[in-house]
Amino acid sequence: MRLLILGTGGMANQHAANFKAIEGVSVVGGVDVVPERLAAFCTEHGIANHFTTLEDALAWGEFDAVANVTPDRIHHPTTLQAIAAGKHVFCEKPLATDAIKAMEMTEAIERSGKVGMVNFTYRNSPALQKGRQMVLAGEIGEIRHVEASHLQSWLVGRHWGDWKTESKWLWRLSKKHGSNGALGDIGIHIVDFASYGSGLDVAHVFARLKTFDKAPGHKIGEYDLDANDSFTMNVDFFGGAIGTIQATRTAAGQMDQLRLRVYGETGSIEMIYDTGKSTLRACLGEDVHTATWRDVPFDPVETNYQRFVQAVRAGRTQEPSFRRAANIQKVLDKALASDLSHTDEALA
């Protein structure tokens, strides 16, 4: 499989490294509107062909699939161009900045017969995959309550760089630069993590979003700091369970932690991803009477990168698909609407 990487910012390095590690995959081209960044990226990863526009890359056409690692608002137009050119697409999350665009992309890829998948990176957690299996197998009985959080701290710590001076962070705080804030950036991850891990889909959402004062005049250079930094959701799931889903970029001491607790009528399961480390615990059987939690072993799982390559070779999309990402985007859109209306919003 010959792969083109579209967008050569920070996350593109993960795509290049992971895809190059898969036998039979060649990263044959890179695209970026910033020539210096493109040249440095292609040199680092040994990529022979450089393009400053997607149009030029498509005119060349000597590749089978595109890894779309552009900023969020660029996903929609560029993915549609790649689909129209007959390419498979592996898109970074979110698929689009709203559900209407995401569904347009979904319908386009499904009509084309090509593979379209979205990089929900935390699906790579073996604790999540094993925990989901246990939930679906009925090991905790009927689900009654779900508690999920995604905690980051790059607004208070400099472990990933200084957000006040680096464009790769500042754009994530600015609506006019295409950001939907923490909700669009990490909210999509924790909603997927909670829904996938519990095996439940969100039916109703009541949300609150918060943007904190981070600079004089809420502005640094060209960046208006108006995108949300934290959110909370109260949700109902189809099937009758209720729960809470929250995320923030201000949780000092938590570099990148996703935690999901699923409480059922006969037991509970906790799935944690914490800055590269996965943990799975359960309270089952007689342990519910003593509130005893025990670690649960799990095996390594395939990554989204590996699943995408398998899907292209088989000619059949695997999860997480474009349609899955579009449905998660509907939840985020309803959360935005709920924050404005101060009312519960139903998913169709």
Q: Are residues 126 and 101 in the same domain?
A: no
The separation between CA 295 and the C-alpha centre of its own chain, rounded to angstroms, equals 26
**Inside any domain, residue 309:** no
**Inside any domain, residue 311:** no
pLDDT tens-digit map of 228-251: 999 999 999 999 999 999 999 999
Q: Please tell me the pTM assigned to this model.
A: 0.94
Q: Are residues 279 and 147 in the same domain?
A: yes
Rounded Cα gap, residues 310 and 202, in angstroms: 29
Among candidate residues 90, 119, 148, the one where a domain is terminated: 119
Rounded Cα gap, residues 301 and 270, in angstroms: 18
Mean pLDDT (whole number) for 171-188: 92
* Strand partners of residue 295: 281
pLDDT at position 348: 73
| Domain tally, the chain | 2
Which two tokens mark 198?
């519990």
**CATH code assigned at 238:** 3.30.360.10
* Contact by Cβ (8 Å): 184, 171: no
**Inside any domain, residue 308:** no
Phi, psi values for residue 314, rounded to 5°: -90, -15
Q: Are residues 89 and 9 in the same domain?
A: yes
What band does 63 get if pLDDT is binned at 50, 70 and 90? very high
Q: Are residues 112 and 136 in the same domain?
A: no
In which domain, by residue range, is 41 found? 1-119
Q: Are residues 208 and 273 in the same domain?
A: yes
Rounded Cα gap, residues 120 and 107, in angstroms: 19
What band does 221 get if pLDDT is binned at 50, 70 and 90? very high
Spatial CA neighbour of 87 closest among 63, 111, 59: 63
Question: Residue 344: how many CA atoms within 13 Å on its side-chain side?
Answer: 9
Rounded Cα gap, residues 127 and 135, in angstroms: 12
**Inside any domain, residue 21:** yes
Mean pLDDT (whole number) for 278-284: 98
pLDDT at position 167: 87
Q: Are residues 294 and 248 in the same domain?
A: yes
For residue 33, give the 3-state DSSP assignment: coil
Q: Are residues 93 and 203 in the same domain?
A: no
pLDDT tens-digit map of 94-148: 999 999 999 999 999 999 999 999 999 999 999 999 999 999 999 999 999 999 9
Q: Are residues 148 and 222 in the same domain?
A: yes
Percentage of residues of the chain with pLDDT beyond 70: 100
Q: Are residues 279 and 175 in the same domain?
A: yes
* Strand partners of residue 90: 67, 117
**CATH code assigned at 99:** 3.40.50.720
Q: Are residues 65 and 11 in the same domain?
A: yes
Q: Are residues 145 and 112 in the same domain?
A: no
pLDDT above 90 (res 71): no
pLDDT at position 9: 86
Among candidate residues 50, 84, 119, the one where a domain is terminated: 119
DSSP label at residue 225: -
**Inside any domain, residue 306:** no
pLDDT at position 179: 87
pLDDT above 90 (res 178): no
**Inside any domain, residue 199:** yes
Q: Is 276 left (phi over 0), alpha (psi -120 to 50) or beta?
A: left
Among candidate residues 119, 144, 173, the one where a domain is terminated: 119
Q: Are residues 165 and 293 in the same domain?
A: yes
pLDDT at position 311: 98
**Inside any domain, residue 307:** no
**Inside any domain, residue 241:** yes
Mean pLDDT (whole number) for 219-228: 97
Question: Residue 145: how many CA atoms within 13 Å on its side-chain side?
Answer: 6
